[in-house]
């Protein structure tokens, strides 16, 4: 994912959410609608989340240090995980509580009606239009990098967290606005404010689902994801295409940042090759990998004469554990 594309989507979402949040709170002040309050809190949470994504991107650009020799690329994963936590705790939990409170209040005061409903309708329609533009920007930027992947595959497999996070947030915001509009509409048509609370509960459930999906995906990235079976097969093919490499004994890959992959492999070399020939082969293999995977900035290749991978062999009484 290009840094420019991700930043553009985040800024577009941030600008939309700040404006939408202000309008929703104004509408809540006039109507007392819990759906409007829940949506206002939702927009505030989304605005804070976009700020966290920008902060994470900025902090990830710091130079590596002796304490963090592989740099700070994973800070983007950490802040994306914080976004999921914020979305759940502030957005979902508040909406669920407010929805429950609204329903119990409406049941205790069945004659109470919604006031100034026109404000709610006007703000919700404007918010839907603004959120649609933000969602459209996120889709356009995602289409630049997702290739032939489906949208679900893009969200699951993307190593850069910003666009998937913004996509899910914008989708959740649009659906939440529709739920709020439905809740307000039913409350006005039926004269029963229980529907406003039902809409608020639906928003809370929606936000909880999105937060859980984001937490699962960003946790996987934070722990450390590999390049994937298909990419590893391509890396092995590139290594074994070099004359000096007989075959790959084993390989490990991991993304230490959205745009930085670590590759460590043990390769079998020919018995009669000199050290200079092995060195040239390793250089050639690294060049081939980087030509195919520009993000492969950290490549460590260990040449070996033996075809048996002792370090990964099972420990048995006949095979003592290798010393570290």
Whether 290 contacts 234, CB under 8 Å: no
Domain boundary residue, one of 201, 223, 245: 223
pLDDT tens column, 161-200: 888 888 888 888 889 889 888 988 898 888 888 998 898 8
Task: Identify the pLDDT of residue 223.
Answer: 87
Identify whether 321 is part of a domain.
Answer: no
> Which of 189, 223, 257 represents a domain boundary (last residue)?
223
Those residues of the chain that have pLDDT short of 70 are: 1-5, 306-324
Among 57, 70, 73, residue whose Cα is nearest residue 257: 73
As a whole number of angstroms, the distance between CA 129 and CA 141 comes to 19
Is there a domain that residue 15 lies in? yes
Which pLDDT score is estimated for 315?
A: 40
Predicted local distance difference test score (pLDDT) of residue 292: 92
Q: Are 234 and 261 in contact (CB under 8 A)?
A: no
Q: Any idea what the CATH number is for the domain that residue 207 is in?
A: 1.20.1510.10
Mean of per-residue pLDDT scores for the chain: 84
Residue 285 located in a structural domain: yes
Q: For residues 294 and 221, what is the distance between their CA atoms, to the nearest angstrom?
A: 19
Q: How far lies 309's CA from each of 239, 301, 302, 305, in Å? A: 17, 14, 11, 10
Query: What was the pLDDT predicted at 43?
Result: 83
- Do residues 41 and 140 both lie within one domain? yes
User: How do residues 36-88 score in pLDDT, each as one tens digit?
Assistant: 888 788 788 888 888 888 898 888 888 888 888 888 888 989 998 888 888 88
Q: Are residues 246 and 182 in the same domain?
A: no
Do 286 and 301 touch, CB atoms closer than 8 A? yes
Structural domain span for residue 178: 3-223
**Residue 322 forms part of a structural domain:** no
pLDDT of residue 73: 87
- The enclosing domain of 272 has a CATH number of 3.30.70.1350
pLDDT at residue number 284: 93
**pLDDT of amino acid 257:** 87
């Amino acid at each position: 994912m290009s840094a420019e594309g991700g930043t553009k989507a985040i800024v577009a979402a941030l600008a939309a959410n700040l404006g939408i949040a202000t309008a929703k709170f104004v509408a809540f002040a006039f109507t007392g609608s819990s759906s409007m309050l829940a949506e206002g809190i939702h927009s505030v949470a989304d605005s804070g989340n976009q700020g966290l994504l920008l902060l994470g991107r900025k902090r990830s650009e710091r130079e590596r240090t002796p304490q963090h020799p592989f740099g700070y690329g994973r800070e983007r994963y950490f802040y994306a995980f914080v976004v999921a936590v914020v979305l759940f705790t502030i957005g979902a939990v508040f909406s669920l509580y407010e929805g429950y409170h609204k329903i119990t209040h409406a049941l205790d005061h069945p004659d109470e009606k919604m006031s100034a409903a026109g404000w709610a309708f006007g703000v919700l329609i404007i918010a839907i239009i603004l959120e649609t533009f933000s969602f459209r920007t996120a889709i356009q930027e995602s289409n630049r990098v997702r290739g032939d992947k489906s949208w679900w595959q893009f969200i699951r497999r993307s190593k850069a967290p910003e666009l998937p996070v913004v996509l899910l947030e914008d989708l959740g915001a649009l659906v939440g606005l529709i739920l709020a509009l439905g809740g307000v509409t039913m409350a006005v048509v039926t004269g029963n404010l229980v529907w406003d609370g039902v809409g608020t509960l639906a928003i809370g459930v929606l936000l909880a689902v999105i937060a859980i999906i984001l937490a699962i995906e960003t946790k996987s990235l934070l722990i450390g994801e590999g390049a994937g079976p298909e990419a590893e097969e391509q890396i092995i093919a590139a290594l074994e295409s070099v004359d000096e490499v007989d075959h790959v004994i084993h390989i490990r890959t991991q993304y230490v940042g959205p745009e930085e992959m670590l590759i460590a492999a043990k390769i079998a070399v020919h018995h009669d090759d000199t050290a200079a020939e092995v060195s040239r082969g390793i250089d050639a293999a690294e060049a081939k990998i980087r030509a195919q995977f520009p993000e492969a900035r950290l490549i460590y290749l260990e040449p070996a004469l033996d075809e048996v991978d002792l370090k990964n062999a099972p420990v048995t009484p006949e095979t003592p554990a290798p010393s570290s």
